[in-house]
Chain A
Amino acid sequence: MKCLRTFTLACGVSVAGMLAVPAMAATLDIAVEQSPSGLDPHIVTAFSSFQIIDGTVYEGLTALDAGLNIVPGLATDWQISEDKKTYTFTLREGVQFHGGGTMTSADVAASLNRVLAETTGSPLASRLAAVESIETPDEQTVVLNLSAPSAPLLSSLTSIAIVPAKYEGDTESLQRAPDGTGPFTFVSWQPDVAITLEANADYWQEGKPELDGVVFNIVPEAATRQVGLTSGQYQMLPNIDGVTAQQFQGRPGVKLQDTLELAYSLIGINVTRPPFDNEKVREAINYAINRDDIVAAALFGAGVPGGPLSPALTNYATPVSEFPCFSTSADTARQLIEEAGVETPIEATLLVLPRDSTRGIAQVVQQQLAAVGIEVTLDIPEIGKFVQDWRNSDFDMFVSLNSGTIEPDDYFYRTFRSGGSTNVFQYSNEDLDALLDAGRQETDTEQRQQIYADVQEELACDGPVAFLSYGQLYTAMRENVEGYTISPNRSMRSLADTSIAE
Chain B
Amino acid sequence: MVLLRRLRGRLIDLAIVMFGVSILVFGFIRMIPGDAVAIMLGANAEVTEERIDAIRNRLGLDLPIHEQYLDWLSKVLRGDFGVSIWTGKPVIEEIGNHVWPTLQLTFLALLTAIVLAIPLGILMARIRGRRGEAFVQAGSVIGLTVPPFWLGIIMILLLSTLAPSLQMLGYVPFSEDPIGNIQRLLLPAFALSLPIMANLARLLRSTLLEALQQDYIRTARAKGVPARRILYRHALRNAIIPFVTSVGIMAGYLLGGAIVIEQVFAIPGLGRLILGAIAERNYPLLQAAILLVTCCFVLVNFLVDVIYTVIDPRISE
Q: Are A387 and B42 in contact (CB under 8 A)?
A: yes
Q: Does the CB pair A387–B276 fall under 8 Å?
A: no
Q: When the two chains form their complex, are residues B88 and A175 in contact, meaning their CB atoms are under 8 A apart?
A: yes
Q: Is B45 an interface residue (CB 8 A)?
A: yes
CA A156 to CA B87, docked complex, whole Å: 27
Given contacts A231-B160, A388-B38, A414-B46, contact A121 B55 (CB under 8 A): yes
Give residues of chain B (227-273) contacting chain A, Cβ–Cβ below 8 Å. Answer: 263-266, 268, 272-273
Q: Is A17 in contact with B179, judged by CB distance below 8 angstroms?
A: yes
Contact partner of B33 (CB less than 8 A), chosen from A4, A22, A189, A385, is: A385
Q: Which residues of A contact B169 (CB under 8 A)?
A: 219, 224, 227-228, 233
B165 on the A face (CB < 8 A): yes
| Chain A, Cβ-Cβ closest to B93 | A191
Which residues in B have their C-beta under 8 angstroms from that of A223? 153, 156-157, 264
**How many residues of B sit at the interface, in one of the four size bands?**
35 or more
User: Quick one: which of A150-185 are within 8 Å of B by CB?
Assistant: 172, 175-176
Provide the B89-105 mask, 1 if CB < 8 A to any CB of A, else 0: 10000100110000000
Let me know if A384 is at the binding interface, CB within 8 A: yes
Among candidates B86, B88, B171, B186, residue contacting A14 with C-beta atoms closer than 8 Å: B186
Asked if A480 is at the interface (CB within 8 A of a chain B CB), the reply is: no
- Say yes or no: is A113 at the interface (Cβ < 8 Å to chain B): no
Residue of A10, A14, A45, A386 near B44 (CB, 8 A) is A45
Min CB distance B276 to A, Å, is: 6
Q: Are B43 and A220 in contact (CB under 8 A)?
A: no
Which residues of A are found within 8 Å of B55, using beta-carbon distances?
Answer: 121
Q: What residue in chain B is nearest A402 (Cβ atoms)?
A: B44
Contact partner of B264 (CB less than 8 A), chosen from A192, A221, A387, is: A221
Name the B residues within 8 Å of A400 (CB-CB). Answer: 43
Q: Is A102 an interface residue (CB 8 A)?
A: no
Nearest opposing residue in chain A for B180, CB measure? A17
Q: Is the CB of B163 within 8 A of A121?
A: no
- Asked if B157 and A191 sit within 8 Å, CB to CB, the answer is no
User: Smallest CB-CB separation from B157: which chain A residue?
Assistant: A227
Of the residues B44, B168, B280, contact of A422 by C-beta under 8 Å: B44
Which residues of chain B are within 8 angstroms of A217 by Cβ–Cβ distance? 170, 266
Known contacts A17-B182, A18-B168, A191-B94; is A220 also within 8 Å of B266 by CB?
yes
Which B residues from 257 to 297 make CB contacts under 8 A with A? 263-266, 268, 272-273, 276, 279-281
Bound-state Cα–Cα, A176 to B87, Å: 7
Instruction: Assess the A7–B115 pair: CB atoms within 8 A.
Output: yes
Q: Is the CB of A386 within 8 A of B266?
A: no
Within 8 A of B (CB), among A211-265: 217-221, 223-224, 227-228, 230-233
Known: A4-B119, A14-B186, A224-B266. A45 touches B164 (CB 8 A): no
Instruction: State whether the Cβ of B316 lies closer than 8 Å to any Cβ in chain A.
Output: no
| Chain A CB within 8 A of B40 CB | yes
Point out the residues of chain B lying under 8 angstroms from A219, CB to CB. 169-170, 266
B41 / chain A contacts, CB cutoff of 8 Å: 45, 123, 387
> Is A19 close to B, CB under 8 A?
yes
B269 → A minimal CB distance (Å):
8
B86 touches which of A37, A383, A422 (Cβ 8 Å): A37
Q: Is the CB of B38 within 8 A of A384?
A: yes
Q: Is the CB of B34 within 8 A of A382?
A: yes
Across the interface, do A22 and B94 meet the contact criterion of CB distance under 8 Å? no
Residues A386 and B263 in contact, CB atoms below 8 Å apart: no
Q: Which of A183-205 contact B (CB under 8 A)?
A: 189-194
Q: In the assembled complex, which residues on chain B have CB atoms less than 8 Å from the CB atom of A193?
A: 170-171, 268
State which residues 157-175 of B face A: CB under 8 Å.
157, 159-160, 163-171
CA distance A381 to B167 in the complex (A): 36
Residue of A nearest to B184 (CB): A18
Give chain B residues whose Cβ lies under 8 Å from the Cβ of A17. Answer: 179-180, 182-183
* Most chain B Cβ neighbours within 10 Å, of A37, A382, A384: A384
The answer, yes or no, to whether B48 is at the interface (CB within 8 Å) is yes
Q: Provide the residues of chain A in CB contact with B39, threshold 8 Å.
A: 383-384, 387
A-chain residues with CB within 8 Å of residue B268 when the two chains form the complex: 190-193, 218
Complex CA distance for A409 and B281, rounded to whole angstroms = 33
Q: Is residue A46 contacting chain B, with contact meaning CB distance below 8 A? A: yes
Known contacts A175-B87, A190-B97; is A220 also within 8 Å of B272 by CB? yes
Bound Cα distance A223, B157 (Å): 9
Q: Which of B44, B111, B112, B169 gathers most chain A CB within 10 Å?
A: B44
Most-contacted residue by chain B among A4, A11, A221 (CB, 10 A)? A221
Nearest-Cβ distance from residue A215 to partner chain B, whole angstroms: 10
A17-B183, A219-B266 known; A421+B164 contact, CB < 8 A: no
Contact partner of A121 among B47, B160, B164, B263, CB < 8 A? B47
| C-alpha spacing A94/B153, complex, angstroms | 51
- Kindly state the separation between the CA atoms of A4 and B117 in the bound complex, as whole angstroms: 11
Assess whether A38 is interfacial by the CB under 8 Å rule.
yes
Q: Residue on A with the closest CB to B114?
A: A3
Contact of A123 among B35, B46, B164, B265 (CB under 8 A): B46
A1 to B25: give the CA distance in the assembly, Å: 45
What would 4 more interface pairs be, CB under 8 Å, given A38-B87, A191-B87, A217-B170? A176-B88, A384-B33, A384-B34, A391-B43
7 smallest CB-CB distances across A and B, nearest first, come from A384-B34, A17-B179, A421-B46, A231-B160, A388-B34, A192-B268, A193-B268
Chain B residues with CB under 8 Å of chain A are: 32-35, 38-48, 51, 54-55, 86-89, 94, 97-98, 111-112, 115, 119, 153, 156-157, 159-160, 163-171, 179-180, 182-183, 186, 263-266, 268, 272-273, 276, 279-281
Q: Give 21 A-B contacts (CB < 8 Å), ordered by A residue.
A: A3-B115, A4-B115, A14-B186, A18-B163, A22-B165, A35-B276, A37-B42, A45-B45, A123-B45, A176-B88, A191-B97, A192-B98, A218-B266, A220-B263, A221-B263, A224-B156, A224-B265, A227-B160, A383-B279, A384-B39, A387-B38
